[in-house]
Amino acid sequence: MIGRLNHVAIAVPDLAAASAMYRDVLGAEVSEPLPLPGHGVTVVFVGLPNTKIELLQPLGDASPIAPFLARNPSGGMHHVCYEVDDILAARDRLKAGGARVLGDGEPKLGAHDKPVLFLHPKDFTGTLIELEQA
């Protein structure tokens, strides 16, 4: 059901500093910041030959990333994103198997303007999983 790894997301307290570290120290190509008010984050993408790293910072106090950074003030890995061919079919199969889909269970548009869903980390060995329609 799951396809390729789309990205690994890292929550950061300072997006500009994290972007500079990846760009200037590691020599990576880093996108411009993209605010995503519907998700409560601002993101940048670090391009790698085989996938991407998504750096995300809270956008406002109500951001779902804010509690994560309160527990992990230096930042850290937040989620992994896998591609699926049909997000609704994947959702239905996962729910039938007992997995919990976060939110209202309906896909939202993600940073790549494609439908995304998040799966409860307690169902996947402590890892928050994002599914993105390929």
- Tell me the catalytic residues: 130
H-state helical runs in the chain: 15-20, 65-71, 87-96
Q: Residue 134: count other Cβ atoms within 10 Å of its Cβ.
A: 13
Q: Of 87, 81, 90, 70, give the one whose Cα is nearest residue 127.
A: 81
Q: Residue 85: count other Cβ atoms within 10 Å of its Cβ.
A: 11
